[in-house]
Structure formats: C-alpha cells, structure tokens
Structure 1
Amino acid sequence: MDTIDRIEELSEAECLRLLSTVPIGRVVYTDHALLSVLPVPFAIGPDGQLVLALLPGGSLARALDGTVAAFQADHLDEAARTGWSVLVHGPARLVREPAEHAELLRSGPKLWTDEREPMFVRLTAELVSGRRLLPRGRVTGR
C-alpha cells in the first residue's frame, strides 16, 4: 500500500473536535523577527476560538497580541504509526476585559507549570487544516 493512501485530510469540524481532546498544543509566533514555538495549555471556547493560557508577565502575550499566529496540536501513536495533526491560523488578542478574564479563570485552561493566575489569549480560527495517518490496511474514501 502506498503511504499516501494512509493520509486522510480532515474537515474543519473534525479538526476542532480533535483539538478538544488534547490539553496542550504549540503556539507559533514571531519573536524579534524569528519564528518561535512554545507548548501552551489551551481549550476551545463555545464560539470555536482557541483560548491559550500563558504565564503572567512573559513576553509571549505581548508578542501574540494583535498579530496573526499559528497553533498546532497532535496525537501520535508511535507503536501503531498512526495519529493526527491539526494546524490553526488566525488573529490573536490578549484578554484584557476583567469580566472575560474572570470567566476564563473559572472555566478556561489552567497553567501546567505554575500556580499563578494565567494571562489568556484568544486565537480566532480562520484557517483550519488537519491530517490523520490511518492504520495500515485502511484507506481513505478517495
């Protein structure tokens, strides 16, 4: 079987569903004219926006605020050589409104590395794409 037959393009709805099954992803942004990638906790809001939890006082929130960023998450099974990967692009904005911030403290993603109160960034999913590597012997419906 050709490897390409094992790769399935995912719909936007399936991509967002898969994203909701993992707690950590990687935000891709520009820092001093260089691409940077950092793992961050996240959640998908009811409006389909991604909410990223960031360490307070860091430069990441400033670097993301008002820019277009990318976000990637995946789940891979090394033994079975299967898995999926989803990539999201869109505008990012720092949550500044106190009521919105308070609500996200109650219901949003939690920092894994710190007990301090996180800062939150909303990333609007304008471009969403994903792929799944299927098990051997299973082909896509092409």
Structure 2
Amino acid sequence: MTGTRQLRELTNDEALHRLGSVPFGRVVFSQNAMPAIRPVNHVVDGGAVIIRTHLGAALLRSVGVVVAYEADAIDADTRLGWSVIITGYARRVQEAGEVRRYEEMLQPWVDGAMNQLIRIRPRMINGFELVEAREEVVVT
C-alpha cells in the first residue's frame, strides 16, 4: 500500500504545460442532448488544444458550442500524477497556413481522411496533481 495523497491545484500555465506533455486525451461534447466522449490525439499550441477528426464525426456538430477536453497521467502503482480539464468553444481551423502546419504537427492515429481540424481555446482550466502528503511538523 502506498502513502496518503494530497490534491494540489495546478496554475493555468502548469495545467497547459502538462496537457501539452501527453499525446492524447478525451473530448467531451453533446450528442443527441447527451454527453459523448471520444479519445483523440492532440497538440497544444498558443494555449489552445488542436485535434483532428473526419468529416462524418459527431464532434463536428459541436463546432461553435462549448466542449470539454481532459487528459491525465496517473501512475497505477503509486497513484500519483495529474489531471487537466479545459472547457471552451470548439472552432474549426480553416486558415490554409494553419491547416498545413497542424496537419504536419498532428498525425492521426487511425486510418481514413482526418482532414478536419478543431481548436478549443480554454475559457476555464482546471488542473490537479496527486502528490504524496506532507507530514505536519508539530512544534512544541
């Protein structure tokens, strides 16, 4: 058994840095008035999360509305790590130069035409880190 844990809140900069340190996460959006979650790979650029998808993706129906994006890295043995959730509007990336740059940066993990790019600019950032609890020093 491992020791006691504490939950430490990350600053926005720390949270975005952690988010950019992993290659995939989960996008949360509404589908048929119900929450839907899809695993996707991403890059973080200029504080925004960029993901690629295909033209028939249910996520594209959420362009222009609020979505959430979550990624984490938690060690199963030590139960230490972090989790970051951003919430913001999903917007299609359409400027040709940006599209080319992101297509080079973000390689799809599945076969097929993943030719749609979505940018999520965070309006809210929530990041937490699970750390070993510090022992209180009692001064007598």
Deviation at 1:69, TM superposition (A): 0.5
Deviation at 1:105, TM superposition (A): 1.3
Which amino acid in structure 1 is aligned with residue 88 of structure 2? G
Unaligned runs of 5+ in 2: 136-140
1:43-54 equivalent positions in 2, closer than 5 A: 43-45=43-45, 47-54=46-53
Superimposed CA distance per residue, residues 95-123 of structure 1 (whole angstroms, 9 cap, x where no aligned partner): 2333322222123x221112534311000
- Counterpart residue number, 1:23: 23
- Are the counterparts in 1 of residues 28 and 69 from structure 2 also a CA contact under 8 Å? yes
1:22-101 equivalent positions in 2, closer than 5 A: 22-45=22-45, 47-61=46-60, 63-101=61-99
Distance 1:52 1:10, change over 3 A: same
**Alignment match of 2:116 (pick from 114, 119, 123):** 119
- Counterpart residue number, 2:7: 7
**Alignment match of 2:102 (pick from 98, 104, 119):** 104
Superimposed CA distance per residue, residues 13-44 of structure 1 (whole angstroms, 9 cap, x where no aligned partner): 00001001100010000001000011111100
Q: How many residues align?
A: 133
- Counterpart residue number, 1:130: 127
- Are the counterparts in 1 of residues 52 and 117 from structure 2 also a CA contact under 8 Å? yes
Identity percentage of aligned residues? 31
Greater displacement, 90-99 / 9-18: 90-99
Superposition TM-score, scaled by structure 1 size? 0.85
Q: Give the Cα–Cα distance (whole angstroms) in 2 for the partners of residues 103 and 27 of structure 1.
A: 22
Q: Which has the larger radius of gyration?
A: 2
Q: CA RMSD in A?
A: 1.9
Structure number with the higher strand fraction is 2
- Are the counterparts in 2 of residues 110 and 118 from structure 1 also a CA contact under 8 Å? no
- Are the counterparts in 2 of residues 55 and 114 from structure 1 also a CA contact under 8 Å? no
